[in-house]
Amino acid sequence: MTFDLHPEVKPLIEARAALPAGKNLEEDRANWSAYARANNVSPPANINVKDSVVAGRDGVSIPIRIYSPSSSGPKAAIAYFHGGGFVKGDCDTSDTTGWGLASETGAVVVSVDYRLAPENKFPAALHDCVDVLLHMQNHPSVYGIDASRLAVAGDSAGGNLAAATALWARENGGPRLKAQGLIYPCLTDRLEFDSYKRNASAPGLTTQSMQGYWIAYLGDIAGKSVDPMATPLIAKDLSNLPPTFILVAEHDPLIDDGVEYAAKLMRAGIETSFFRAERMIHGFIRARVTGPDAAAAFARLSRFLCEKLA
């Protein structure tokens, strides 16, 4: 199938096409890291970057990267969860997005290097994301933040983890989040929406790849999850969640995940903003440093988070 692609994403597609085919998961991870790092851009001088570790449950050490704007005084904070299909990615592969959120919102951004599947299946990644968020709430001086102004954000698998973390926080008495930002999130393992058919072979992400990611993350229950912490779209009750911004791409199998979640949130009375990036593909925010339309879409998300965290 032919897709009418935005010129800003074509360099991303070409860069991925130039990577050698991975023979196993280890090689796939290495190739993904090479691709992502090649598209990274160094942060501006007014963003301070520091790597650290948070002690999670069961003796787990969770690597994090803290992006702090140089302005004075306690700041709002965003816990950010990277994409990569639950099986790849880290703070390095999402570096440009991490400092971009900090630069555009003025908030401290804490990027979480959560445990990856299939070695660590659900709920390991979610536990790591929740544990870092709780650490931010309970130790605000470590981050230089105002713990009453917290948000979560993530892209792709990270969008799933952001939505699940928001659900977890609601169910467990906090933290009380000011906002959540979901960038082309994967929210259901059923893969039954029309977008999984019309965008099945789209560059950036295919339906077949997404199916494999769910199997890696959920194991035997992939395709039949009944736990909204794993697949937030099946949650029966979306009330009392924070204001939400959902950013999706036209040529992405996951677009209908975002469309349906936005509709459910609005029916539940949640303030919800939604933006569809025309002619864009899954992963297009990597083009924001050189592409004005990708940058404008990212800026919509950033403005929303900034307003809610004020």
Would you call 51 a catalytic residue per the annotation? no
Half-sphere exposure of 301 (CA within 13 A, CB side): 30
Catalytic residue among 257, 282, 293, 302: 282
Closest CA to 302 of 290, 285, 283, 282: 285
What's the CA gap between 233 and 224, in Å, rounded? 13
Catalytic residue among 128, 131, 155, 252: 252
For the record, the structure tokens of 153 come out as 């954000």
Would you call 273 a catalytic residue per the annotation? no
Catalytic residue among 68, 94, 111, 156: 156
CB 18 within 8 A of CB 38: no
Would you call 139 a catalytic residue per the annotation? no
The three-state (H, E, C) secondary structure of 58-101, written as one string: HHCEEEEEEEEECCCCCEEEEEEECCCCCCCCCCCCCHHHHHHH
Active site residues: 156, 252, 282
